Structure formats: structure tokens, C-alpha cells
Amino acid sequence: MIYGMVLCVGDSLLTGARDEYDISVPMLLGDALSVKGQKWLGVDCAVNGETTSSLLRHLYKTVKAYPEATEVVICVGTNDAKEPALPEELFRRNYEEILKTLSVLQRRALVCLVPQRGGFGAIDLICPRAIRGYNKIIRSAASATITPVDFRKVPSGFRPDGIHFDFRGDQWAANKIAETIIKSRS
């Protein structure tokens, strides 16, 4: 059987932190990608509370542990935007290092834009201006060959605490990632 593997790294937006069934985006990604004749596996290496700095500390070892993974989904930045937000120049440096690491390891990167908070969750903890700046950095750091997965406009009702996805949000996110992978391969 032919199969593909997608490694997912980042923060609690991927881990299913508020999913009522304890299901994560990577768990749903395999099904969203599976097409006739090929099965996919989404591997969940996301960590609640992950920042760009903490991801850099283990990214190389994490990616090397999954040699079959040809694609790596990066969803990080929400925790960098907690007050006091990581300065944009440090976020840029970290993000460029993340992409360089994946390039050195010959993995295809898919980058997720960071959603603004929505609803009542964590109003005072997340800096909206930082998220806007981080998304500009993510788009500019992604070369012409890297298509961002746009998480900026999450449908209403998919984030019970205003930040994290519920099950419907996890399904939405997995489908957005799958659509981006499929489009970029055609």
C-alpha cells in the first residue's frame, strides 16, 4: 500500500486542547488527505504552550525521528503573542530558522497563519497587534514555494474558549491543511 506521512508541529491549536472528544487536527488530517490508492497518516508532535523558541529547541530531533514524513505542518505563534509578546524581530529570526531547519532536512513546509482570538477567550493574554505582525512575517518568510494555510478567519462557533478549536474546528483546520497540500501538489 502506498502511504504518505505529514508531521505536525506547533502549539495547542493542533493538539485538540479544547476538542470535546480529545481528537487533534493531525488525527483528522490523514483522513482528509487520503485519496484513491493512497493512505495518509498525520503525526501529532504538537505541544501545548509551544512557542517558536521552544519549537526550535527540538525541531531537528523531532523531524529526524520521522524520516517517512515528506511534509511538515507548522502552526506556532499564538503563545509568542501572549503579553509581553515576543518582539517581531525575534519572531522573524525564529521562524526563518524553523524554515531553514526543514530545508536542511529536505522537508516540505506548510505554514499556518495564526488566527486572531475570537469570542470570550483569553482576551487580555493575546496581543492582536503581535498576531497581525507575526502573520506578515510568516507570509514573507514563506518563499514562493510555500503556500500558507490561512487560519485567520475561523468560522464562528468553532472555538469554545475563543482560541482553541473544538471538534468541528479541528475538522475545519484539517480540511484547510489538506486543501493546501493537495493544491500545492497539483
> pTM for the whole thing?
0.93
Nearest 10 degrees: Cα torsion 73, 77, 80, 81? -170
Q: How far is CA 138 from CA 109, 148, 152, in A?
A: 12, 8, 12
Name the residue ranges covered by the structural domains of the chain: 2-185
Paired strand residues for 4? 40
Query: For the sheet containing 2-10, what is the strand order?
Result: 38-44, 2-10, 69-75, 108-111
Q: What is the pLDDT along the chain (186 residues), one digit of tens a residue?
A: 568 999 999 999 999 999 999 999 999 999 999 876 689 999 999 999 999 999 999 999 999 999 999 999 999 999 999 989 999 999 999 999 999 999 999 999 999 999 987 655 555 677 889 999 999 999 998 876 788 999 998 998 999 888 899 999 999 999 999 999 988 877
- What is the CATH T-level fold of the domain 2-185, as seen in this structure? Rossmann fold (3.40.50)
Question: Which amino acid does the sequence have at 186?
Answer: S
Residue in the structure block whose three cell numbers are 530545508: 103
Degrees, nearest 5: CA angle 95-97-100: 115
Helix/strand/coil percentages in the chain, nearest 5: 40, 15, 40
